[in-house]
Each structure stands twice: as structure tokens, then as C-alpha cells.
Structure 1
Amino acid sequence: MKFPETLSPERREPIETAAAQLQSEYGEGFLGMVLSGSAGRGLETERSDLDVLVVVSPELVDRPLTRNTELELLPVTLLHLETLSTFGDDQWGYRWSYAWAPTLLDKTDGRIQQAVERQTRLSPEESLSLLEHRLDAWINLAYRSLKSARDGNSLAARMDAVEAMSPFLDVVFALDGQVRPYSKYLTWSLHHHPLPSWPTDVLLETIEQYLAGNPDAIRQSLRRVQRSELPLVQETFDDWSAEQYDALRHD
């Protein structure tokens, strides 16, 4: 077993015990383990469960596994790990649960590790698909927020800016080929796996300013994304009229 350094010996012990039991009961059907959740990223608290993905052969995946107050074993097949959900799928919301999750045990000659790493990244095709869904949605919400700020409706401006946060982050991470992290792990992800296109401190401050409905921060984020050389980005911005650009760019 290979544990992350952040996991204490006391928390490793129940995982090692479970692995021994699984090996005894499942034999060759027990393929490996991946540590997900807060513990897999060094963020666990005294109230955190140990969420362990147990990779098993298909005929064993529906067999119930042990759960106690500190260890939750979640059975998955190797095919499940190697199957990529796309934006809009029912499983898309779970995809980041695999991101940067350490593989504790891999009896498949590296296939488990490779599958976890592949879940973390968006291919160029996946990024493009997500941007097709989210880029214009973000620009539209930013436009509404800026119009409300211009007209003196600060409440509406802040509400639309907050609503714009979700597609904004989807766009930012997709442009750098990453799955957007859950809010709980956003700061951790940016500090440990920073985005090439956005300095971490700049992006975190931009998020804070979005939550305050700051028009200048919204305009700066629009300009920054518009500098992308991706044709889809240019085409999407070009679809906005000159009059609309006035609201996006000026007070």
C-alpha cells in the first residue's frame, strides 16, 4: 500500500485492515484502492470519514462492503473508472471526486492510476464541449450584472454576479484542461495544482470580487478570457453586438 504523507498512521490502520479482509474474501477480484474525499487531499478533520474507492471485478461490485464511523468503502469497477462522463451527463458532478485522488493499491499494472489521472484532466475535445455549453451563459450573466450595476440596481448586480460564478469557473478551468473542483476544494486545488492561465492569488481575489458584485472585476475577467486564442472564444465574443459590448466594457 502507498499512502500519502499527510495521512496519519492511525488513519492508515483501518484501511490496511480492510485491504487484508478484501484480499482474503475477494482474492483476484480485489483490484485496488483509491483514497478520495478530504483525506485523499490532506484536508481531513476529526469529523471526516475515510472515503476509499475499492476497485473490484464486475461480479463483485454489487456486494455490500463494510462501513463504520471512520471508513467508508465504495465499490467500483475498473471499467467505471476508465469511463469518462461529459458535461451534462448524470455522472458529471462526480467527476472531480477522482481528481488528484491518490491510488493506494493498484494490482492492474497501472490501469487504476492512469484512469484516475485521466478523470482529472479534460481533453481538448472535452474542454471545447464544456465551453460550448458554458461560455455564452457566463457572458450573458456577466452582462446582466454589469447592466444592473450601471443602472444603480446593486442587489440585482450582486445576484447576477454570484450566479455567473459557476459558469465563469467552468470556463476558466476548461480553458486550462482541468475539471472544475468542488467549492470545498477550490483553494486547495489552486494552491497545489495552479492554472497556467490564472495566477492563483489573482483568481481567488477575482472570485471574492465577484461575490461582492464588483463591475471592474467582472470586466477584467471578461478581458482576460477574451485573450484566449481558442477560435470558439473569439467567435462567442464576436456574437455580441457593439451596444452590448458597451455594457460589458464601460460604465
Structure 2
Amino acid sequence: MHITLGNTPEDTLAAFTARAAADPGVAGLVLSGSRVHEGMPTVHSDYDLHVILRDQHASPIAELDWFRSAHLDLVVIELAEFRTRGMPGRPDHFARYSYVHAQVLLDRLDGTIARILDEKRTLGATEARAAVDGWLDAYVNQTYRSLKSYRDGRPAMGHLDAAESVSHALEVLFALHRRVRPYNKYLQWELERQPLGEPRWDAGLLLPVVRRILADGDPPTQRTLFADIEEAARRAGHDPVLDAWGTELELLRHP
């Protein structure tokens, strides 16, 4: 199946969406990517479009899954798979953030596409609690390894562990607020437009901390971040995860 590119990405999107809307096998169309993040698109931005089919045999558009061009990127997916894509335990769990700000362009199922999207946009209470517990333990582990290496005179190895801890820390912070952690490209965008609720997590304060840890693993900066995360995690009732580390937490609190 062939897609004719228009003169602009907008032309290509309009032509394809009209074609898809005329196909009864298409249940919905969902736009994601930089185009749904105000201020993020550039002259190089294409349109990321999810085409949701009633089933894989419902439309010849199924052949276009993972079509890529300078104007349009397609994910063609069955409705049943769309329901679970990006959710915990799935091999494509990394795709979850792509739906957080996604826009419904077509919904032939009386709002079903929109309802599925809404389930993906935020973490459920049980899901968030499990996510915090898992990522918090991973974050403490990685920070402990880093500071232990600094203590033992292995700063290069400590720096590597510190850099890995940043990803875990961000997962914890967003999950504490039942938010899906954004892709790094959108981290500043998220913090500026939808702050995490405390001044210390604002873009102007958190991002310099992240950059410093990534730059050289600075132990005092790591300890400052840990203190803030520990306080927030305990306030949210995640003491068992932290207390399981016993006296080893002292290395994260004091040189």
C-alpha cells in the first residue's frame, strides 16, 4: 500500500487522515509526538500517528505499520493491542509516555478510544505505589553503589553509578505524583508546564541537580537529592523500602 507525500507534513497528514476516515476498518486515529507538545515542534518535526484497527484483517492500512517518512510516522495497531500497549509488564512499556498528551483525531467507538487513552495518561493508585516501591529501591541501590565507590577511592566507577541513578530518581519523583515519567526530550517541558507540586522539583531547581550528577557524580549533590527523595517517599508511606536498607542508608546521608 502506497502513501503519497504532500508538499508539507500538514498536507500529508490531512490526505492520510481523510483516507483512513473513509475506511470502515479503522476504529480510531491518535496523534502523539512533538506535535502534541506546544512549543516543541521544529522544522524537522513529522506527525506521529497511531492508526487503530478493529482487527488486523479489517483494513489494507495494516500493511503500513511502522511506515516512516519526513512527514509522517505510523503505528498501525489492533484495538485489543492498543488497550494494553505501554502498560506495566508489557515489552512495549516504554511507549506509555507517548500517550500522555496524545490527541484523538477519530473515534468511531463512541468514546472508547478516548477512554483507553485516559487510562494510559496517569498511573493508577495501586500502579503508582508499586512503581515507587520498585524504582525507589533501585535508586537507593544505585546511589549506595556510587557513594561507596567514591568512599573507596574509585571516583570513575562512582560517577558511572551516579549517572545511572538519575533515571531511577526521575521515575520515583514522577510516580510519587502518579505521573508517567516523560522521555528526556520532554522533561523540561513537563516540569515547566506541569510542575510536580513542590518548588524543589521545579525545572529551575531539579534540572541543575540532574546535570551536576550526570556531569561528575558530585557526592554532596547526590546526598542532597537523596535527602529530598527520602523525605518525599516517607511522607507518602514508602518507609518499608527505605528501612529495609538499615544502617547502609547512613552512607547516603553523611560522608
Q: Considering the TM-score relative to the shorter chain, is it more than 0.5?
A: yes
Whole-Å separation in 1 of the counterparts to 2:109 and 2:208: 42
| 1:22 counterpart = 2:26 | no
Alignment of 1:173-212 (within 5 A): 173-197=174-198, 198-211=201-214, 212=216
Report what 1:63 is aligned to: 62
Which of residues 239, 242, 245 is equivalent to 1:237? 242
User: What SS does structure 1 have at the residue aligned with 2:102?
Assistant: coil
Q: Contact conserved, 1:50 with 1:71, CA < 8 A, in 2? A: yes
For residue 172 of structure 1, report the CA deviation from its aligned partner. 1.2
User: What SS does structure 1 have at the residue aligned with 2:95?
Assistant: helix
Report what 2:32 is aligned to: 36
Q: TM-score, normalised by structure 2?
A: 0.83
Structure 1's unaligned 5+ residue stretches are: 1-8
Identity percentage of aligned residues: 32
Q: Which amino acid aligns with 2:30?
A: V
Whole-Å separation in 1 of the counterparts to 2:228 and 2:191: 18
Whole-Å separation in 1 of the counterparts to 2:246 and 2:103: 47
User: What is the root-mean-square deviation in Å for CA atoms of aligned residues?
Assistant: 2.4
Whole-Å separation in 1 of the counterparts to 2:170 and 2:221: 14
Q: Contact conserved, 1:86 with 1:126, CA < 8 A, in 2? A: no
Report what 1:5 is aligned to: none
* Of 144-153 and 94-103, the range deviating more from structure 2: 144-153
For residue 248 of structure 1, report the CA deviation from its aligned partner. 1.0
Alignment of 1:85-124 (within 5 A): 85-124=86-125
Whole-Å separation in 1 of the counterparts to 2:142 and 2:44: 37
Whole-Å separation in 2 of the counterparts to 1:199 and 1:115: 30
* Of 84-93 and 177-186, the range deviating more from structure 2: 84-93
Whole-Å separation in 1 of the counterparts to 2:112 and 2:240: 39
Query: Size of the alignment, in residue pairs?
Result: 239
Whole-Å separation in 2 of the counterparts to 1:174 and 1:135: 10
Residues 179-203 of structure 1, C-alpha deviations (whole Å, 9 max, x = no match): 1111222222222222224223222
User: What SS does structure 1 have at the residue aligned with 2:191?
Assistant: helix
Report what 1:3 is aligned to: none
Report what 1:225 is aligned to: 229
Q: TM-score, normalised by structure 1?
A: 0.84
Report what 1:54 is aligned to: 51
Q: Contact conserved, 1:209 with 1:217, CA < 8 A, in 2? A: yes
Structure 1 runs of 4+ aligned residues shifted over 4 Å read none
